[in-house]
Amino acid sequence: MSSRRNFLQTLGTAALTLPSIPTAFAAAVNSEPYQGPVLRVALMGLGGYAGLVARGLESCQRAKLVGLISGTPSKIKSWSQKYNIPEKNCYNYENFDAIKDNKDIDVVYVITPNALHHGQVIRVAKAGKHVICEKPMALNAREGQEMVEACRNAKVKLLVGYRMHFEANTLEIVRMRQAGELGQIRFFQGLSGFRIGDPGQWRLTKNLAGGGALMDIGVYAINGSRYMVGEEPVWVTAQETKTDPQKFKPGVDETIQFQLGFPGGAVASCLSTYSMNNLDRFFLNGDKGFAELQPATGYGPIRGRTNKGELALPHVVHQTKQMEEMAAIILDNKKPVIPVDGEEGLKDLKIIDAIYQAVKSGKKLSLNL
């Protein structure tokens, strides 16, 4: 099956075969075994991306895979054998509410089709467990708000799988912008796209995906525009192009261009598509300098340049870095440089809602995030 995750995995295949960090640095990090608390993770939805998360967890010090939730018994069997998961920590979609009584599980990472996130996250929250939810967090802002409230009421944390928020080159550009090294930000461009394959996959099914390319790969450009510019957009315009109505049924977008305006005067021009390859680029321009990432959101290594030279900070497997950082957020209340909480996911959903509305109306719409 061709999909965003397969596409991104292709970009990062070489990186996954390389050492995640330089040998000398790894030796220094591992010279003293970690003795502190460990975040105990259950994965819900055992598809391709869950496999990457599971492999990433194998290299974590502060997070460990301890539980599985799936609707496919054969996957539960093979995964439990591969990762040595006890039967008492394995559940299906009907009985996973019972994790409420399982003291060996701290957090559930929901990696299922978009339409399932809302109900599953709320059930996990009611079971008293923290939640990590893949992006987009829900189908729309209404669902997202309900998920945020459910987790708040249950006094559990809701985090979203924004792995790029912990990537070193991305964070260096954010640092440069915050330090004023790029000057006044004027423009951002986010290009996110690939040619999607199997027309029968869930990502091309409105009821499961909630849309098309925008809900999948387009989230990167939406979210990236916000953390790169460093402001929340105040207006949006958008246009849709569809060249293959047989493959992209009503409600499933093929290509959407959208523009965002920011209070400081910056504008963003973004593209989300399922019909073009070679689109994974962020470009940020200020009146004192620029920064570019290409590839910008693949599994790495992420590469870029600025007006000061090349950006090629050491690559760490994204899923390992993400889970280490999320363990610190949950266990230590660490505050990340770029938020990854449910409120962050909700803002992206509000923008997605507005983009779809702007496509239909052809009008420039105000945003209030």
Q: Which residues are catalytic?
A: 135, 220
ω before 250 within 30° of 0 (cis)? no
Backbone angles phi, psi at 40, to 5 degrees: -100, 115
Pairwise CA distance, residues 324 & 19, whole Å: 17
Pairwise CA distance, residues 358 & 236, whole Å: 7
Closest by Cα among 316, 318, 325, 319 to 39: 325
Pairwise CA distance, residues 167 & 205, whole Å: 31
For residues 208 and 115, the answer to whether their CB atoms sit within 8 Å is: yes
Residue 24: left (phi > 0), alpha (psi -120 to 50), or beta?
A: alpha
First-to-last C-alpha distance (Å) of the chain: 36
Single-letter amino acid, residue 253: D
Residues whose CB falls within 8 Å of the CB of residue 21, separated by 6 or more in sequence, listed in order: 29, 314, 315, 316
C-alpha distances out from residue 103 to 92, 120, 202, Å: 18, 19, 34
For residues 367 and 236, the answer to whether their CB atoms sit within 8 Å is: yes
Closest by Cα among 95, 60, 77 to 324: 60
310, 313, 319, 324 alpha-carbon torsion, rounded to 10°: -150
Closest by Cα among 239, 252, 264 to 364: 239
Pairwise CA distance, residues 335 & 230, whole Å: 17
Handedness of CA 163, 50, 37, 91 (dihedral sign): positive
